[in-house]
A and B are shown apart, each in its own frame.
Chain A
Amino acid sequence: MNEFVGRALLRREDAHLLRGEARFIDDVPEPDGTLHLGFVLSPHAHARILEVDTAAAAALPGIQAVLTGADIAAHVQPIVAEVEIEGYRRHGRDVVARDLVRFVGEAVAVVVAEDPYVAQDAIELVEVSYEPLAASIDMEATTAADAPRVHEAVPGNLVFEGRFATEGFDEAFAAAPHVLKERFKSGRVGGVPLEPRGCLAVPEPGGALTFYTSTQIPHMLRTAVAKYIGCPESRLRVVVPEVGGGFGTKAQIYPEEFVTAALARHFRRPVKWIQDRREELITDIHSRDHIYEVEVAFDGEGLVQALRSRVRTNAGAYSTLPFGCTLETTGGARMIVGPYRITNYAYVAQAVVTHTGPVGAYRGVAQPSCYMAIEGMMDRIARHLDIDPAEVRLRNMVPTAELPWTNVVGVRYDTGSYQESLRAAMEAIDYEGFRAGQPADRLVDGKYRGIGICSFTEVSGTGAPGWRARGLVRLPGFDTGLVRVEPSGEVTAFVSHAHAGQGHYTTFAQVVADALGVDFADVTIIEGDTAAVPYGTGTFASRSAVTGGGALIRAATKVRDKMRRIAAHILEAAVEDVVFEAGRAHVAGVEGHGVDMRRIAETAYAMNELTLPEGEDFGLEETDFYDPPLVTMANASHIARVAVDAEDGRVEIEAYAVVHDCGRLINPMIVDGQIHGGVAQGIGEALMEEFVYDDEGQIQNATLLDYLLPTAEDIPDITLGHIESPTIDAVGGFKGVGEGGVIGAVPAVLNAVGDALSGLGIEIATKPLRPSLLAGEIRKVRDGSAS
C-alpha cells in the first residue's frame, strides 16, 4: 500500500519553527547555577606553549576556574581517530593543547565562568607564552624533506597513502591514441551552518549526565564522549535539540563537547558552551582542499580507455572523530569514475597533514571535487575531438540496460538513469537550442556565455561494508527503528537519526504510516534522544531515508504481522486470511468482519476482556535494524548556463536545470528543497566560498563579511525534474538525496565558465572562480593577443 509515501505533505515541524517556539541548543533552559565555558585559542599555526598564566583571569569575579591543557588532560584522554586502513598513520590529539599548538584556533586553555560575558572577559586575561615555530601550510610543500613536521607519529607529513591499479592498466593506457592531462585544485570551504555549535551538560542524581548537544550523530557521540571522559556509557544520555543546519559539520565529535561533559562531572554543576561565529569558522571542520592530477586516455570516439589519478587531500592538523581524515581521500579516488564505463583505472591517494584547521566531511564530501576533475576531463576530451560534451558523456555512460553493473572499484550500481537524466536535463534547459546559437568565440551581447554539465553518481545510504572498505571499522553503518502501537492505537516510532532541517518528523511518519497501514496523522516520530531511541549510526552522507526508512519499514512490518495474528485470534480466522489496512484488520473479502486497531492494541496490552493468541507476548512494539548494502547509488545531471562579464570577471548564472534520480520519492517537496539548498551551496563553493590561509597559517577571512556565502541574489531559478529508479538492493526503494545538489552544482558551474571562456583558450581547473581571478585571466589573453 502506498498512500502517504510519494506525497508532498506539508511539514509537521514548521509551525513551531515559524512561531519561534522551537528550542535550539542555546534555547534549552539553563538550570540554576549553570557554568559557562570560554576557550582560549591559539593565535599561532605552530608554536610551543611555554607558559599559561591563569592568575589574572582566575582572579576575575565570577570565574570558577581557569584550566590549562594539563588540567584538562586529567579529565579527558587524548582522542585518536581509529582508521584501520593500510597506509594510515594514527596520531592523538589533546582536546586542549598541552605542549604544541598545530593550527590557529586550537584551544590552549578553558575558562569556567558564572556568566558567558564574564567568560569572554577572562579569555582576554589568560596570558599564554609561545615559542613560534615554522609551520607547514601549503599542502604540496608539506611533504618536502625539510618541511616542518606536524606530528612525530606522521613522518613526512604523509598521514595516509593508498594505491590501486587494475590488472593490465599500463598496457591499456599506452594503447589509447589520445591522452589529456590536467591538475585540478579544489579550494577549502566549510559547511557554515547558520547555527553555530554548542552544548549543555547537566549532572543528574546518581552520577548520570544529560548532555544536550547540536549534533547529527547522538549515539556515536555518546560512545566517544563516555570513552574519553571515563563516564559509564549507560549513565550518559545525549539529547539533540533542534539543530540549525548540520551539513556534516555537526557529524563530528569536537573537543569542546568532551570538555563540557567532563567539567560538568568534575564541578557537579551544569556546564554550557555556545560557540561564536569566529570560532565556528576557524575551529569547525573545513572541507575540500584537494588536488587531482588526472590523466585520461581515450579513443577517437571519445571513449575513455584508461584513467589515472593522483589525489591529494589536506587533512589539516588532526584526524578527527569519528571519520578520521581518509574519507575525503579514499572518496575522491574511488568515486571519480562516476556513471562512466571506466574499466582501467589506477590511483595514488594521499592525505597530508598541515598546520591548518582540521578537515572533515561536509555535504558531498569528496564528490564535488572528484567530479570537478572527471567532468572537467569530459569537457576537455570533447574540445580535443570537437565532439559535443554531452555526447562524450552519453557515449561513456553505463546504459540503463546494462544495470546492475559493478564499477572498477567494486561498487554496485543496481538501478539508475544516467543517460536518461542527462537527456532530460538537456531538454529542460534547451541545450541544443543554446548550442545552435552559440558563436565560436562565445561572445554574446558583450559577455562570454557558456553551458556546463555535471552528470554524476551519488553515494548514499552507506552500510557497514561500505565503511569497512574505507577503513572505518568503528563506524556501524546500520540504523534502527522501533515502532510501537500505544494502547490508544496511536503509533510512536523511534529512529536512530537526528535531523537538522531535513523534515524527518514528516517523511519518516509517511514511511511508517504506509508500512504499518495506518493514517499518517496517527504516527509520531521521535529521534535524537539516546535514552529513548535504540542505537544507530546517525544522519550524514545521505543516509537517513535509506537506513532509517529501511529500519522503520522492517520494524513496522513486524508490528503489522503481530496485529494480524491478534486480529485473527479475535476474529477466529486464519492469520493468512486477515489483512490489515487503514488502521483496521478484517477477513479478506469480508470487510464487515473486522476489528479496529485500538481494540487490537487494547488486547495486546491486556486492557479489555479479550485474550492474546497462545504464545503471543504482551505489548505491541518491535525493533529492527537495517544495514544496507555497500552503498545505495543515486544519480543526477545538472546543467548550468552562465554569462561571464569580460571586464569585471563576474559570473551570472542565467539558467539552471537538474534532473535527479533518488529512487522512490518519499516527499517530493522535501526532496526538491534538499536539491535547491544543495545547488545554492554548490554555487557558493564554485564562485565565492573559500577559507584563505596566509603563509604563516593565519586565516584571512574568519567573519561572514569575508567568507562569502551566497545570498538570494546569487541563486538562479532552478528547473527541477525527477526520474524514479527505485533501488532493488535496499528495503523501501529509497536512495539518498542530501548531497546531490552540491555535488552537481560545483562542476556544472565550473564547466559552464570553462565553456564560456573556451574561445579564449582559458581552461578552468580551480575553484572558487572569483571575479578577480577570471578578470585577470581574460585580461592576460586579451593583452597577449593585442601585443
Chain B
Amino acid sequence: MSMVRVKADDRHRVSLTVNGRRRTGHAEPRMQLCDFLRHELGLPGTHVGCEHGVCGACTVLIDGRAQRSCTQFALQAEGTEITTVEGLAEGETLNRLQAAFRDHHALQCGFCTAGILMSATHFLREVPAPSEAEVRDMLSGHICRCTGYDSIVRAILSVAGEGGT
C-alpha cells in the first residue's frame, strides 16, 4: 500500500460505505472520523465524549470491528465499511439488542449508548454465549455515568446465545 500524500490545508475526498450505502464526503487531513461521520455525513448518532479514546461513546464498527472514531482520521477510513448506531434498526423496528436495552432499562441519558451498542454487536459476534465476567470485561472499555452498568450487563446477556443480535 502506497502512502497517500495529503496537504494539511486541503480538503480531500473520502469514499466509504456507511450503513450499507456508498458515501462520499470531504475532509481535511486532520479531521477526526467521528466529526466526519457526524458533521460531514450527517450521522450525529455517534457521540463524542472525551476525544482521547477513553470513554468509548464514539465507537463504531469499521470493517466489522468495534473501534473508537475519535482517535482516527477520516482519511484513514477511505474504502472501509462502517456501521454506526443509525444502521442497527431494521426500518421502524429496533433490533434485538436495542430492544433488550429498552426492556432492561439499560440507558438513562443515552449519550454512551451508541458506542456500547456497537461494541456489544461486535462482541456478540465474536463471543456468542459470553459469561457475565466476559460481558463486564468488554464493557470496561466504556464509561456509562448513569446506569451503574448492571442493567446493561443484563440486556447483553439476555440476547446472548440466542442467534445473535
Q: Do A and B bind each other?
A: yes
Which residues of chain A are near B147, meaning CB under 8 Å?
673, 676-677, 680
B144: interface (CB < 8 Å): yes
Q: Given A117-B31, A669-B105, A711-B139, does the pair A20, B52 have CB atoms closer than 8 Å?
A: no
Q: Given A117-B28, A704-B55, A705-B52, does the pair A18, B108 have CB atoms closer than 8 Å?
A: no
A240 shortest CB reach to chain B, Å: 12
Are A21 and B45 in touch, CB under 8 angstroms? yes
Are B94 and A18 in touch, CB under 8 angstroms? yes
B26 shortest CB reach to chain A, Å: 13
A783: interface (CB < 8 Å): no
B143: interface (CB < 8 Å): yes
Are A245 and B146 in touch, CB under 8 angstroms? yes
A74: interface (CB < 8 Å): no
Q: Given A194-B55, A676-B147, A711-B140, does the pair A245, B111 have CB atoms closer than 8 Å?
A: yes
Which residues of chain A are near B105, meaning CB under 8 Å?
10-11, 669-670, 672-673
A711 to B109, CA, bound (A): 17
Residue on B nearest A281 in the bound complex, by CB: B50
A83 to B136, CA, bound (A): 45
Q: Which of B50, B108, B137 has the most CB of A within 10 A?
A: B108
Interface residues on A, range: 35 or more
Are B146 and A501 in touch, CB under 8 angstroms? yes
Return the contact of A23 from the options B44, B135, B144 (Cβ within 8 A): B44
B99-150, CB < 8 A from A: 101-103, 105, 107-114, 117, 135-137, 139-150
Residue on A nearest B109 in the bound complex, by CB: A501
A267-323, CB < 8 A from B: 276-277
A162: interface (CB < 8 Å): no
Residue on B nearest A704 in the bound complex, by CB: B54
Which residues of chain B are near A673, meaning CB under 8 Å?
105, 108, 146-148, 151
As a 0/1 sequence over residues 42 to 57 of chain B, the CB contacts with chain A under 8 angstroms (1 = contact) are 0111111111101101
A754 to B117, CA, bound (A): 39
Which residues of chain A are near B110, meaning CB under 8 Å?
13-14, 17-18, 22, 242, 244, 501
Are B109 and A18 in touch, CB under 8 angstroms? no
Are B108 and A277 in touch, CB under 8 angstroms? no
Residue on B nearest A12 in the bound complex, by CB: B102
Which residues of chain B are near A614, meaning CB under 8 Å?
none
Are A718 and B150 in touch, CB under 8 angstroms? yes
Residue on A nearest B116 in the bound complex, by CB: A712
A1: interface (CB < 8 Å): no
A691-744, CB < 8 A from B: 703-705, 709, 711-713, 715, 717-718, 741
Return the contact of B47 from the options A18, A195, A503, A715 (Cβ within 8 A): A195
Q: Interface on chain B toward A: helix, strand, loop, or mixed SS?
A: loop
Are B111 and A715 in touch, CB under 8 angstroms? no
Which residues of chain B are near A145, meaning CB under 8 Å?
none
A537: interface (CB < 8 Å): no
B153: interface (CB < 8 Å): yes
A705 shortest CB reach to chain B, Å: 6
Are A277 and B44 in touch, CB under 8 angstroms? no
B75: interface (CB < 8 Å): no
A711 shortest CB reach to chain B, Å: 4
Which residues of chain A are near B143, meaning CB under 8 Å?
194, 704, 709, 711
Which residues of chain B are near A26, meaning CB under 8 Å?
38, 44, 48
B4 shortest CB reach to chain A, Å: 20
Return the contact of A676 from the options B45, B94, B114, B148 (Cβ within 8 A): B148
A246 to B110, CA, bound (A): 12
Are B148 and A680 in touch, CB under 8 angstroms? yes
Return the contact of B108 from the options A27, A502, A718 (Cβ within 8 A): A502
B119 shortest CB reach to chain A, Å: 11
List the 8 closest pairs (A to B, CB-CB), nearest first.
A20-B45, A244-B111, A501-B109, A17-B110, A501-B108, A676-B148, A680-B148, A20-B85
A residues touching B (Cβ–Cβ < 8 Å)? 10-11, 13-15, 17-24, 26-27, 117, 191-196, 242-247, 276-277, 500-503, 669-670, 672-673, 676-681, 703-705, 709, 711-713, 715, 717-718, 741
Given A19-B45, A20-B44, A711-B143, 10 more pairs with CB closer than 8 A: A11-B105, A18-B98, A193-B111, A242-B110, A673-B148, A677-B108, A677-B145, A677-B146, A704-B55, A741-B148
B residues touching A (Cβ–Cβ < 8 Å)? 28, 30-31, 38, 43-52, 54-55, 57, 84-86, 88-89, 94, 98, 101-103, 105, 107-114, 117, 135-137, 139-153
